[in-house]
């Protein structure tokens, strides 16, 4: 998938770039040579920003290919270090929205499980077993219409496929997510999950930056 990067920019200055990634686009290169967001952002900087200077852009975090939403890039190497430390120290706040066809037992609460990556999927456990790590999120569920439920999620840990696997574990797979048991179609190469809000501190000016995108209101 090729995009016009300029049309997907949510915030940009000389230090950082924030992109609204569409469903179906990989964030980073793979061994099969698929189009990816990183190379397209680097091309945007080369053509519009760098003007003969070093072209530098590096994503700080990733979103799964079928997931849409906010992706943060550093435009300088020193900025990459600062933002990576913010993520590692859990100073960055990450929020998502998802659509499911089922609702959990409680409309609001937390999901606290143990997570382990197993080949191309994540496995979720109620208790710790070897090679698992804690996976935590908070959520609030709102009914949109019959058999359609909107999840507002605050992600406290950032594990592989965490939201997808945890929601499936409580019998609420994300709509369109066949890998985790959804039998309802969504859109081609997409699931009904979006990174809707990101809160971080500017790596140079140190003030808080809040980035939001429009989430789901209906399906």
pLDDT digits (tens, 9 = 90+) for 95-109: 999 999 999 999 999
pLDDT band per the 50, 70, 90 thresholds, residue 148:
very high
Closest CA to 201 of 214, 216, 211: 211
Average pLDDT over residues 71-94: 97
Residue 185 lies in a domain: yes
pLDDT higher than 70, residue 16 = yes
What 8-state DSSP symbol labels residue 205? Answer: T
Residue 152 lies in a domain: yes
Within 57-107, strands assigned E span: 58-59, 68-74, 93-100
pLDDT band per the 50, 70, 90 thresholds, residue 33:
confident
What pLDDT score was predicted for residue 155? Answer: 98
Average pLDDT over residues 129-144: 97
> What's the longest Cα–Cα distance across the chain?
57
pLDDT higher than 50, residue 70 = yes
Residue 187 lies in a domain: yes
Residue 53 lies in a domain: yes
pLDDT band per the 50, 70, 90 thresholds, residue 219:
very low
CA dihedral 187, 191, 197, 198 (to 10 degrees): -120
Where residue 177 sits, what CATH number does that domain have? 3.30.2350.10
Q: Which of 29-43, 104-118, 153-167 has the lowest mean pLDDT?
A: 29-43
What pLDDT score was predicted for residue 51? Answer: 67
φ, ψ for residue 21 (rounded to 5)? -75, 130
Q: Which ranges in 46-193 belong to alpha helices (H)?
A: 77-88, 162-169
Token pair, residue 138, equals: 């908070």
Number of alpha carbons in the 13 Å side-chain half-sphere of residue 92:
22
Give yes or no for a contact between 98 and 174, defined as CB atoms under 8 angstroms apart.
yes
Residue 33 lies in a domain: yes
Residue 219 lies in a domain: no
Residue 29 lies in a domain: yes
Number of independent structural domains in the chain: 1
pLDDT higher than 80, residue 149 = yes
Query: First-to-last CA distance in the chain?
Result: 23
Average pLDDT over residues 155-178: 98
pLDDT band per the 50, 70, 90 thresholds, residue 92:
very high
Q: Containing domain of residue 36, as a range?
A: 5-212
How far is residue 90's CA from residue 109's CA, in Å, rounded to a whole number? 20
């Amino acid at each position: 998938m090729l995009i016009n990067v300029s049309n997907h920019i949510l915030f940009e200055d000389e230090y950082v770039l924030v992109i609204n990634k569409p469903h179906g686009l990989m964030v980073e290169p793979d061994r099969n040579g698929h189009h990816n967001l990183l190379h397209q952002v680097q091309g945007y900087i080369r053509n519009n920003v760098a003007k003969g200077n070093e072209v530098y852009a590096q994503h700080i975090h990733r979103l799964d290919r079928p997931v849409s939403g906010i992706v943060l890039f550093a435009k300088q190497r020193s900025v990459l270090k600062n933002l990576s430390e913010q993520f590692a120290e859990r100073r960055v706040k990450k929020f998502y929205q998802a659509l499911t066809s089922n609702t959990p037992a409680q409309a609001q609460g937390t999901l606290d499980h143990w997570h382990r990556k197993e080949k191309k999927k994540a496995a979720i456990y109620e208790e710790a077993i070897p090679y698992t790590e804690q996976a935590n999120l908070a959520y609030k569920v709102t009914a949109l219409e019959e058999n359609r439920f909107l999840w507002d999620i605050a992600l406290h840990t950032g594990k592989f496929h965490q939201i997808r696997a945890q929601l499936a574990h409580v019998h609420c797979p994300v709509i369109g997510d066949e890998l985790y048991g959804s039998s309802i179609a969504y859109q081609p190469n997409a699931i009904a999950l979006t990174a809707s809000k990101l809160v971080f501190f500017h790596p140079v000016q140190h003030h808080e930056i809040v980035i939001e995108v429009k989430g789901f209101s209906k399906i």
